[in-house]
Amino acid sequence: MTGGVAAVDELDRRIIASLQADGRASWTEIADRVGSSLATVTRRGQQLIGKGVVAVGVSHAINTPDASDLFVLRIRCRAGRQMDVTRVLAERDDLRFLCLVTGANDLVAEIVIPKADALHSRLVDEIQMIDGVESCRTDLVLHQYKVSQHWLQGVLARQERGDEAAAALHVCDPSHFDDTDRQILEVLKEDGRASFRAVAETIGVNESTVRRRLETMTERGCAVVLTLVSAPALGFEAEILLTVSVTPSRLDAVARRLADFVGVRYLAATLDCSLMCELILPSTSDVFTFLTQELGTIDGVLGWEASLELLTVTRGFLRTPWWQALVDERRPEADEVAQVEA
């Protein structure tokens, strides 16, 4: 949720879709793509970023199947403690995704754990020991079928099928980054549209060094430019997490068919022979159509559990601006409580 962000119009949507395609594109390039004046696009784009409707950041994209595993966490909290637990989890750098949801669980997250680490240390000693956590169900992600960063254009166009081919993941481990690379990513994590000159001045290197290194990291797949978008601010009624139960022999076939749908933003197979599917569609009516005419008709689908996404806190290791805005809004109240207790 965005907390009072005004609805956007068609031009805003086209600007956001262009930012999803290339978060570091210049306002001149975006103006050419959307067919509007540079002044208008610059003003609108800066307003969208300033209001927290959209944010651009650069994240590491460490893919080390031989060195680390990805787990899905489904967390239940004690009554009234959901936000307390969320605040603690939001500070972790090993969570790729974190979302407050409806349903049987309160939070769903993805955590990256190096194979060298003891699972019980991360999952039991750290996650389950957070004050307010009642239980945590953990599933190993076996295979990721789809991670869509360009969902808006396809969904708004109401295309039936997507044409976003799954690219082969580059194996990129921490040894591929040196201190300069990490400094560049740290600056761009907060502002993915910062100029090469600004980044260079911040970390004390040449502008050409920043440009060359970022281009190398993104071309190799070691870093990714992410455009985080507030779906409710765009008027979207439905962001849903589905756990789809599948006949074991049909798991791969069902996943490949589901990955074709534009509304499916994320899809992965987990160890319990199910598919974790993130769905984003404009309206509840669209969800009904998808469930009854698409998902429910696929051979091998046994059923599903669904949760509405209430508040996305982290995506692609980046914290969302609307989460930060919520924290900032509540901070004065927390400070007053702390002063009273002192």
Residue 102: both structure tokens together: 């409806």
Report DSSP letters for 226-282, one per residue.
EEEE-TGGGT--EEEEEEEEE-GGGHHHHHHHHTT-TTEEEEEEETTTEEEEEEEES
Exposure class string for 75-92: b at 16+ Cβ within 10 A, else e: bebeeeebeebbbebbee
Sequence-ordered list of residues with C-beta below 8 angstroms from that of 47, at least 6 positions apart, any chain: none
Predicted confidence band of residue 161 (pLDDT cuts 50, 70, 90): very low
CA distance linking residue 118 with residue 113, whole number of Å = 9
Report pLDDT digits (tens) over 123-134.
Answer: 888 999 999 999
Report pLDDT digits (tens) over 38-68.
Answer: 999 999 999 999 988 899 999 876 656 667 8
Whether the domain at 10-54 and the domain at 178-221 fall into the same CATH topology = yes
Q: What is the mean pLDDT of residues 182-208?
A: 94
pTM for the predicted model, two decimal places:
0.84
Predicted confidence band of residue 331 (pLDDT cuts 50, 70, 90): low
Predicted confidence band of residue 4 (pLDDT cuts 50, 70, 90): very low
The structural domains of the chain, with segments of one domain joined by +, span 10-54, 178-221
10-54 maps to CATH 1.10.10.10: yes
CA distances from 169 to 21, 141, 144, 173, 211 (A): 18, 15, 10, 12, 23
Could you identify the residue written with the tokens 């031989």?
Answer: 66
Domain 178-221 classification at class level? mainly alpha
Residues pairing with 214 in the sheet: none
In the DSSP assignment, the letter for residue 169 is P
